Amino acid sequence: MNYFRTALLLAALTALFMGIGFMIGGQSGMVIAFVIAAGMNVFSYWNADKMVLRMHHAVEVDERQAPEFYNLVRELAANAGLPMPKVYIIDNPQPNAFATGRNPENAAVAATTGLLNMLTREEVAGVMAHELAHVKNHDTLIMTITATIAGAISMLANFAFFFGGSRDNNNPFGFIGVLVAAIVAPLAAMLVQMAISRTREYAADRMGAMICGQPMWLASALNKIAGGVKHIHNEDAERNPATAHMFIVNPLSGERMDNLFSTHPNTNNRIAALQNLAQEMGGGGAPRRGSQHGPWGGARSDPPRRRGPWG
């Protein structure tokens, strides 16, 4: 994992935030933006995971409410040598998942009801192993802070339209500079966000395959999730596009300008890399084709009884 490159990308986001402050209010605006960025990083360190979970209406579950899912995460965490994370379920039909938390001791993993209902148990194991790989690699803190700063850049760029054009605020570029900042800054933030995510997804795929022991479980899951995302909207993700890079597959529909650039590597390329890894490991463990069984062994025509957040 190239942590130096990630540090540079985070520094670029902070510099971009300060640059917008300079466009709005000159040197004083830049200083204020720096103070805000520093405060946001501190706040994000302690609270961003809770904010992201709240944005997506995630509900924490325990062994009584979701025994199969909870025990699966516990087994995978033990395989990865990680403390047991908090487990959340999101009542959303789109198949997807993400991990968050400032460190492995304070981590959380979340899966949608769509993911649990559409994937086999082995495929769910591949997905959650991928998320635990993010936890093990300490990606969750970086990705959560990135989401916070990227969202703030977009808000500050919009703010510039209203307060960046006056002559008494030390703005050295006038309205033209503010206009450029308001248009270019969110796109630049998106590119940096995309770069941070892409540097980490392949590594998490590989480590996740090692954690669950079967690369093809994750490959099969990615194929199903990508297909589901194309046809099922995630309204919470559309309202909070700065969190899109945290999911295992980009949850955005592409109907908004926020999704001009993908925050994830191409799914087919990820699957191909996992197929190569399976050959290296001398197997694959691909789920049986045409399986009619749901994630926990129940036939799809007779779905498992819903518990907890499922109602």
Catalytic residue positions?
131
Q: Is the dihedral of CA 187, 193, 198, 201 positive or negative?
A: negative
Round to whole Å and give the CA distance between 132 and 248: 11
Q: How far is CA 9 from CA 25, 34, 140, in A?
A: 24, 16, 15
DSSP letters, 71-132, are: HHHHHHHHHHT-PPPEEEEE--SS--EEEE-SSGGG-EEEEEHHHHHHS-HHHHHHHHHHHH
236 is written with which tokens?
A: 């919470």
Rg (CA), the chain: 21
Round to whole Å and give the CA distance between 132 and 207: 9
Cβ-Cβ contacts under 8 Å for 116 (sequence gap 6 or more): 69, 89, 124, 295
Cβ-Cβ contacts under 8 Å for 42 (sequence gap 6 or more): none
Sheet with 108-112, strands from edge to edge, namely 58-61, 86-90, 108-112, 97-100
